[in-house]
Amino acid sequence: MDNEALPDLNAFSALTSRVYAVLVNDNDMLTDVSGLAGIGDMELIGHMGGALPPFVAGQFAITNNDALCVESVSTLIGALLSKNPDAFALSPLYAGNREDCGG
């Protein structure tokens, strides 16, 4: 996804299934990725134990978004990992996002 005016990913909040990939790159106005926090929730319904499949089967990359704080991406990654320690088939990438957010 590459959209110069996209401020958030709230339109994806209904996404609760597993996905093949998450690619969010080069969005200059993006400040919020929490709309992706529901990825994989459908896998949890009725789950009786044992290993879950990865929620993201391929690449997870949220990179080079000038206004997006790296902490926001880390929070999203942590939320997905808290639901499934094997949430990612490949290591998540989140380089190039804003480091100096304060707080």
DSSP H or E segment with residue 61? strand 60-63
* 103 band by pLDDT with thresholds 50, 70 and 90: low
| Predicted TM-score (pTM) of this structure | 0.92
Distance of CA 30 to the CA centre of its chain: 13
More confident residue, 47 or 40: 40
Does the pLDDT of residue 18 top 80, yes or no? yes
Domain ranges for the chain, please list them: 1-44+52-103
- Across all residues in the chain, what is the average pLDDT? 93
Runs of H (alpha helix) within 1-103: 41-44, 70-83
Burial of 27 per CB tally in 10 Å (0-12, 13-18, 19+): buried
